[in-house]
Structure 1
Amino acid sequence: MTNHVLRIDTSARHEGSVSRELTDKVLAKLAAKDVTVRDLSTPLPLIDSTWIGANFTPADTRSDDQKSTLALSDTLIAELNAADTIVIGLPVYNFGVPSTFKAWIDLVARAGVTFRYTENGPEGLLTGKRAILAVASGGTEVGSDYDFASTYARHILGFIGITDVTIVSADRLMVDPEASHKAADEQIAALAA
């Protein structure tokens, strides 16, 4: 059984959201009792020059304003650090990830905090965690040449150290919804708790 799960919902929709439905099923399969929920349907702020200035100021010399600017980012990173498993409901919007997910990534991918640069290239610092992407799409086939959502999510998670990534998908829902749901249910049933 999974100890602590961070659930991240990225769909703008609540009612009728297939990614949220898949995420519910993944959590049921994991029998997760301790779950932190981060719902990105209320968008996060975008990073700006003030945020970048605070981020690149050494932690021990940051002003109170700079610390305040980074407070949300620190909270989001603390949620990641506390989780053993991260379950992300990820709809495909126009071949890519929802803008709210990209905003979350920008707030958690911080040099020296969640990754670092070494002479051998970047090294992710959030190791020993598992991620499950619950992907839903109307027409984009997950893993295809034009799927920039799951491939980006897998890459960026690996960049910050989360390399154990499983994808469950209900893709091409507008083509064959019954087969898409059936395939996703089979993938979820095969997940290790």
Structure 2
Amino acid sequence: MKKQKYSCLEKNTVRFENPVEKLARWGRNLRYMYQRVRYGYCDRDIWMMDDWFLSVIPNMLDELNWTRHGFPSALLDEQNMNQDKEANERGDKEWGRILSEMAHCFREANDRTCTRNNPYEEEWAKAFWTLSDSYGTLGEKLRTEEEIKEKKRIAHFPSLLPANRDLWNKYLEETKKIQEYQRACIDQGMELLRKWVWDLWD
């Protein structure tokens, strides 16, 4: 099984990074690595704890599933002390299913790994670019006379344009459906975690 990466290192996000900024970033990364080794987590993990949990825990569950040597005794029939081979195989298979389901639920709750996509995502992104090209980055050209007079810096979004209203409503409706699905996934994952947390060892 190939391990999935979840680095604590801060990557360069600009095209040209001057030496001072690079040294500062390296210094932060050294601190993050030290914190990971010393405490098991670092500042960057705390800043994105939800992303850390929904990314790292599923990977750990998968690895436990692939490398485990047993399963919880609760999956056996407590009334039958002489479990046969088939009973053990059933218990082992069920434990594998539970671990897989738990990992799946947490991954589906993660925006980056969820398998459900908004079918209007690309079209909505194009609407943003069109707004930027036609009316300025923040839709400055859509400002009212009052806003211009008072020098207000108000962002105008594609949803304000009549031509985009229908697209916005569809995009928003699909987004709500995905969020409801992700909420159901996190609820199911946490319910399984609550039930089996004391058995997550090997």
TM tier, smaller: under 0.3
TM (normalized to structure 2)?
A: 0.23
Which structure carries more strand by proportion?
1
TM-score w.r.t. the length of structure 1 is 0.23
| Greater helix share, structure number | 2
Q: Which has the larger radius of gyration?
A: 2
Q: Which protein, 1 or 2, shows the higher relative CO under an 8 Å CA cutoff with sep ≥ 6?
A: 1
